Structure 1
Amino acid sequence: MSRRKDYSFLQQTATTEVAAPKPSLRLPDAVALIVGIVIGAGIFETPALVANQAGSDIAVLLFWLIGGVVSLVGALCYAELATVYPDVGGAYYYLKRAFGRRVAFLFAWARMTVIQTGSIALLAFVFGDYVSQIWRLGTFSSSIYAAIAIALLTALNIIGLQQGKWTQNLLSAAKVLGLLLVVILGLTAIPNSGAAAPVESASSGTWGLAMVFVLLSYGGWNEAAYISAEIQDGRRNIVRSLMWSIGIITAIYLLINLAYLRGLGLANMAQSEAVAADLMRSLWGEPGALFISVLIAIATLGATNATIFTGARTNFALGQDFSLFGFMGRWQQRPSSPTHALLLQAAIALALVFLGTLTRKGFETMVDYTAPIFWFFFLLSGISLLVLRIREPHIVRPFRVPFYPFTPLLFCAVCAYLLYSSLVYTGVGAVAGVLVVAAGIPLLFWNNYRQGRT
């Protein structure tokens, strides 16, 4: 009897070892994933806010160029971490090596309950808002569409990696092509007379606020860390995917803002509540506004899918290390996906959609909820590079961040500033996010108590 049990245990262990993440993502898949995450709702919401802080067309374009440079600095830091420590847990693994299991646990808890799930809900709300412009489903139309998007995309990722990545590739391709069409139409339009209208010069304080909006739109490239264990030829393709992605995103952001400026003018752009829709309405009338609503729906759907895809990877890593969440640490071999982690992530995101419905300000609530926690742990990730360079000087580093230590120090300074800004400009939602993260502390002690008894 005992031999049968031993054999069964060994058989189960072997199965668990086989059912693990495999390098099946190609370079184009990784680029599509990163581009899909970053180009979400931000580029359709924030250009007007940035223009309102700028004193000239040149200043607008300069803001977006600086945003690309700052993102490149951060990407170089993450490229070193991801190539030296390729792990499905991404930043969770870096924080665990640099600061220990407790900090890593709080990060994974924050990502599971605030950062990633809040981002999923935020993007789903934007998707619901714009689809509701096409076909309304009653009073809670946006929330209904948001819930449907989360459920459908989670199901696609549970079916398997191939379905998830091809969905992402198609959505990213459609999004980029649609944006390029807007760029072409805007750049070939007759310049708007509003371009010459005077706009008050931005003060030094509003320059900082403008960069908050810009970097919000660039956010998401760091998700490349969570696919480092699943990308083919990872030590080479992680760096290439980050460089290609940020280059593509920066070029698109500069061109789309140039199109806004030419088609609407700086003054009209700064006063617009829906800059992309206003541009297309001025060129094509209401059919143009309908087109942009469809494009924004596609953009947010792609970003939602990519965020669901990468978010479940941290939950899987958390489940492997902490017995309290052990049910999430199981990777389904067929299909190749962390099914339990995806299901829990969807449940929390749907709960946040319900919260946003109660406040009647879904997008704003989710921004407040996620921003301070995101920038706090982003800052810790930058510091972890410095710590690991000191603590593990002899480890092989296929890629080294240029101009060390100035590059990571600059990245950490930017993160610290944005942490401060997110606390200053957010409200009650930020407090809720901090409280939810703090709720993970007793869970950590309870997990340690359980493991100690075992």
Structure 2
Amino acid sequence: MSTAATDGQPQRLLDPFGAVALIVGIVIGAGIFKTPALVASLTNDVGWTLMIWIAGALISVIGALCYAELCSAYPHAGGDYHFLHRAFGRHVSFLYGWARATVINPGAIALLAFVFGDYFSQVVPLGEYSSAIWALSIVLLLTLVNVIGIRASSKIQSSLVALVVLGLLAVVVAGFSVEAPVAETSLFFSSVPAASQFGLALVFVLLTFGGWNEAAYISAELRGGARSIVRVIVISMLLLTAIYLLVNMALLHGLGLQGLSQSTTAASDVLGLAWGPWAEKALGLFVAIAALTSINATMVVGARANYAVGLDWASLRQLGQWQGPSGSPTRAYVLQAGISVGLIVLGMSEADGFAAMVEFTAPMFWSFLLLVGLALLWLRHSDPLATRPFRVPLYPFTPLVFCAACGFLAYSSVMYAVSQNAIHVSFWLLGSGVMALLVLRWRESALNKVDNQAVGS
């Protein structure tokens, strides 16, 4: 056993292929099966539809380059949390860690588990509460797999991602094998969408690309060091961009603009046109697998955020323990699973409240992501001597564009939450985090007094 293992520290057990599978698995969720139709309905133009997807890809790549610099300069299992800690101190980073640990990550896991349960119940129904039963089962099963260790999780993730990519390639083949509606071939930059529609469509696209930043949480466990994390991020983004553009082009070719914009199950529709009803049913299984990959990958990075919080706060040190032999933060996984299970149970009885609680944490997520972009700018100024194996190109223009995009998404999320009378959820979350921070500071102050008295005596 290595020294790292016996000391209970993160070990470099993850190969670049497994890391790419984790990132792609987080990003490719159920969103790609729903977002193309929403974007097409908002733009009502083939050219603008594809342009918005390209714009979303470019913004995501810019953000990924910013993260590549931070990850190569400050590799740490805490990811975003660690960057915020270095730039702005432990109080700001704790509020981010609190939001992520209590709702953002467990909420994403719970929602994805319900998506898995909904689709897998079509294959193996288990009665009235089939979706919830499958959701609970998959959360517990994948938690167990991840507690066993990152290598076991990585192997399963690679296999699942391969299946999802095959499913999306099937959609691409089906879309291009169906004759395109001739009447719509001229709708290419024929009209300019309203600014509000363009902005909302871009929000949907960027949310569908969301998850690439999670590479930060595996930077301390990746073989090959700093340059490997840069390659992983770049390869992941290129692969995702190619897949998303191909899927959209195939759906537009097979269904036409109007057919796509009016469809609620576009991928199923194009498979049905190409190969019949059996193909439509088969897609449900692929959507379930897509949700499964996202659940697994979200668990991996979420537990590492909890682990980083535990390292910084003595009262939470149980979370900051790395189980060497398994190569995983076991207690952080258990906490994450417990909250996720609680949200699933809550979702069974209060579906509307559950959806609002999770969905409207988006303003906080994008606000903290904006802070990460600002952290890059601040650390360049405050820590100029740090070794940076990779530097973001066109500095400072690149991080400023990323910050502007995050600010736009934070503003859009707040406005949408206000329109739905749900902004109070974000305020409640922030307020509870501030209270927890005050309690932790009080406890640590009391512990320090006890230690000082013991030393004095």
TM-score, with structure 1 as normaliser: 0.93
| 2:5/2:11 contact within 8 Å kept | no
Once superposed, what is the RMSD of the aligned Cα atoms? 1.9
1:33, distance to aligned residue in structure 2 (A): 0.6
Look up the match of 1:436.
429
What are structure 2's unaligned runs of at least 5 residues? 448-457
1:305, distance to aligned residue in structure 2 (A): 0.3
The answer on 1:445 being equivalent to 2:434 is no
1:424, distance to aligned residue in structure 2 (A): 1.6
Paired-residue identity, %:
47
| 1:116/1:311 contact within 8 Å kept | yes
Look up the match of 2:359.
368
Question: Secondary structure in 1 aligned to 2:322?
Answer: coil
> Which residue of the other structure, out of 148, 170, 175, is the alignment partner of 2:137?
148
Residue deviations 1:82-108 (CA, integer Å, cap 9, x gap): 000001001111101111110011111
Look up the match of 1:10.
none
Look up the match of 1:62.
51
CA distance, structure 1, for counterparts of residue 55 and residue 335 of structure 2: 37
- Tell me which amino acid in the other structure corresponds to 2:195: S
Task: Please give the residue correspondences for 1:282-431 in structure 2 after superposition, counting only pairs within 5 Å.
Answer: 282-361=273-352, 364-365=355-356, 368-426=359-417, 427=420, 430-431=423-424
Greater displacement, 96-105 / 49-58: 49-58
CA distance, structure 2, for counterparts of residue 438 and residue 354 of structure 1: 24
CA distance, structure 1, for counterparts of residue 312 and residue 428 of structure 2: 24
CA distance, structure 2, for counterparts of residue 429 and residue 314 of structure 1: 26
1:356, distance to aligned residue in structure 2 (A): 2.4
CA distance, structure 1, for counterparts of residue 14 and residue 204 of structure 2: 31
CA distance, structure 2, for counterparts of residue 394 and residue 160 of structure 1: 35
Greater displacement, 80-89 / 196-205: 196-205
| 2:360/2:413 contact within 8 Å kept | no
The answer on 1:99 being equivalent to 2:92 is no
Pair 1:136–1:193, CA change in 2 (3 A): farther
CA distance, structure 2, for counterparts of residue 346 and residue 370 of structure 1: 19
| 1:370/1:433 contact within 8 Å kept | yes
CA distance, structure 2, for counterparts of residue 15 and residue 285 of structure 1: 54
CA distance, structure 2, for counterparts of residue 368 and residue 325 of structure 1: 27
1:362, distance to aligned residue in structure 2 (A): 8.4
> Which residue of the other structure, out of 111, 122, 125, is the alignment partner of 1:133?
122
1:179, distance to aligned residue in structure 2 (A): 0.9
1:319, distance to aligned residue in structure 2 (A): 0.9
TM-score, with structure 2 as normaliser: 0.92
Look up the match of 1:4.
none
- Tell me which amino acid in the other structure corresponds to 1:376: S
| 1:125/1:143 contact within 8 Å kept | yes
1:34, distance to aligned residue in structure 2 (A): 0.5
1:428, distance to aligned residue in structure 2 (A): 5.1
Residue deviations 1:33-92 (CA, integer Å, cap 9, x gap): 100000011101111100001132121111111111000000011011100000100111
Count of aligned residue pairs for this structure pair: 441
Pair 1:423–1:165, CA change in 2 (3 A): same
What are structure 1's unaligned runs of at least 5 residues? 1-13
CA distance, structure 2, for counterparts of residue 171 and residue 195 of structure 1: 36
1:128, distance to aligned residue in structure 2 (A): 1.6
Greater displacement, 141-150 / 26-35: 141-150
Pair 1:101–1:17, CA change in 2 (3 A): farther
Greater displacement, 128-137 / 177-186: 128-137
- Tell me which amino acid in the other structure corresponds to 1:48: A
CA distance, structure 2, for counterparts of residue 47 and residue 363 of structure 1: 25
CA distance, structure 1, for counterparts of residue 15 and residue 4 of structure 2: 26
1:17, distance to aligned residue in structure 2 (A): 6.5
| 1:118/1:370 contact within 8 Å kept | no
CA distance, structure 2, for counterparts of residue 200 and residue 136 of structure 1: 46
CA distance, structure 2, for counterparts of residue 406 and residue 276 of structure 1: 38
Greater displacement, 184-193 / 398-407: 184-193
1:433, distance to aligned residue in structure 2 (A): 3.8
Look up the match of 2:453.
none
Residue deviations 1:318-353 (CA, integer Å, cap 9, x gap): 111112221111111121111110010011111122
> Which residue of the other structure, out of 31, 35, 41, is the alignment partner of 1:42?
31
Look up the match of 1:179.
168
Question: Secondary structure in 1 aligned to 2:220?
Answer: coil
Greater displacement, 90-99 / 128-137: 128-137
CA distance, structure 2, for counterparts of residue 230 and residue 246 of structure 1: 20
CA distance, structure 2, for counterparts of residue 367 and residue 103 of structure 1: 21
